[in-house]
A and B are shown apart, each in its own frame.
Chain A
C-alpha cells in the first residue's frame, strides 16, 4: 500500500481526507492520483491541469524525492512508500 500525506490546504476542499490514514494501491504516481480521485472526486483537477500535467504550484514527492515526470507522472512507487502532495512555496 502507498500512504498519502497532504498539505492541510487541501482538507478545506476535501474534508473527507482529513484525520484519517489514506492509503491506495498503485505502481506509479499517475495511479496514485487516479486512486485518490475515487476517494475524493474532483481532486485530480486540483492537482493536474487538463493535459494531465502537475499544476505549476503543486509539488508531489515520493519519500524525500520530488517527482521528475510532471507531465505524465510515470515516477514509480513501491509498497510502503509515502507520497506527499503539497503546495509549492512559490514565493511569499
Chain B
C-alpha cells in the first residue's frame, strides 16, 4: 500500500491466490523477496527487481541438504496405552515445510528461517543458499544427526504454524545486529532466543530472565515460546520480545530479559511487537486475550504503546473498531517507520497510523488473512 494524496491506497502487487508468509525488501540491493507457501507445490522464494510489478522464482531455492535430519515427536494411536496414544521420538529427514522469515545484512548476506528449524545463509545476495550447520547440529537439538540415532534429546519443540503438518520447530525472527553484523539473533518457536557472536559459527541461548509459566521448569535454558523479537536500529542494545508467556524487554542486547507485561491493561499475550528505530524504549504491540482465546480483548481492537521500556502502557483505540472486533494479528503483521505504524489481521483488516498510534485509519477490510506488513 502507499500514500496517494491524503489516502492510503492498497494495490495487488502479485501472487494473487498464493499464500505469502513474509515480504521484505533487501535494503542493500532494493530487491523484494516474497516467501511463498504454495500448498500443493511447496514453499518457494520469489523475487522482484521492479518494485513488485513482476516476480520470478529465485534461481536458488531453499532445500535441506542430503543427510539433514531432526528429532521429531509424533503422536500415534496406541490401543495398548491407558491414554490411547503414544509418542514416537525419531530422527527424520528434513524437507522444507515453510519459509517463515527473511533477514538481510551487508555484503550480500541473506538469511532465511524455516520450518523445520533451519537457518539458510547466502553470502552472495541470494544466488546460493546453504544450511547453517552449527545451528542445525547444535547440542540443544541432539547434536549432529547426519548418521545414527540421537544421543541426546532435543530441547527444541514444535510450532503449529507448519503447513506440512509435522510438529516441528520454526525460526520466525532474524536480527542482524545493526551495530555489528557478525552478531545474529534468532527466535524460535519453540526454543527461545539464540545468539551468534561470530557470524553464525557458534550459537548459544539468550533466554535469561524469561519464564515459561506453562512449564514445570519455568526457568529452563531452552523451550521458551518466543513469538517474535525486534531490535532498535539505532539503539541496538534495546530488544523487544512478544512471548507466549508475556512481553519482555532487554536493554542489554538480550543478555537478560525483563518481563514488562501488565495483564490488567491487556498487555501480556499476542504475537507481534515493533520498536521505534531511534528510541529503544518505545514499542507497540497488538495484544490478544490469551492463549485460550486468541482474539482481540472484549471485542475492542487496540494497540498498546510504551515510551518508557514497558514501565507504563497506553491503549491506542482511536479509529480502531470497538464493537465485535475479534481480530488477531500475527507476528510479522505489525511494523513502524518514522512515526507511521501499520498492522493487518488474520481477518483481512489493514490499519495505519501516521501519529505513532494516536489515531488510526482503515485501509481496507476485505483482504485475505494478512501475514506480513513491512515498510519499504
Contact = CB atoms under 8 A, between A and B. Distances in A.
A71 to B, nearest CB: 11
A51 B42 CA distance: 13
Contacts of A57: 39-40
Interface stretch (A27-35, A42-50, A61-69): A42-50
Contact of B96 (A10, A49, A58, A87): A49
Contacts of A88: 40
A51 B95 contact: yes
A50 B41 contact: no
Interface string B40-52: 1110100000000
Interface residues of A, number: 18
B45 to A, nearest CB: 11
A7 B96 CA distance: 23
Nearest to B164: A56
B57 A42 contact: yes
B64 interface: yes
A11 interface: no
Nearest to B42: A55
Contact of A50 (B38, B44, B63): B63
B200 interface: no
Interface residues of B, number: 16
Name the prevailing secondary structure of the A interface residues: loop
Contact of A45 (B39, B61, B94): B61
Given A49-B96, A51-B95, A87 B57 contact: no
Nearest to A49: B95
B248 to A, nearest CB: 35
A27 B221 CA distance: 54
Given A42-B57, A50-B63, A13 B41 contact: yes
Max count, chain B CB within 10 A of own CB: residue among A42, A50, A55: A50
Contacts of A9: 40
B93 interface: yes
A45 B40 contact: no
A50 B40 contact: no
Contacts of B66: 50
Max count, chain A CB within 10 A of own CB: residue among B38, B64, B94, B96: B38
A47 B41 CA distance: 6
Which 6 pairs from chain A and chain B are nearest by CB?
A: A46-B41, A57-B40, A49-B95, A87-B40, A50-B63, A50-B95
Interface of B: 38-42, 44, 57, 61, 63-64, 66, 93-96, 164
18 contacts: A10-B41, A13-B41, A45-B61, A45-B63, A46-B38, A49-B96, A50-B63, A50-B64, A50-B66, A50-B95, A50-B96, A51-B93, A55-B40, A55-B41, A57-B40, A58-B40, A58-B41, A90-B40
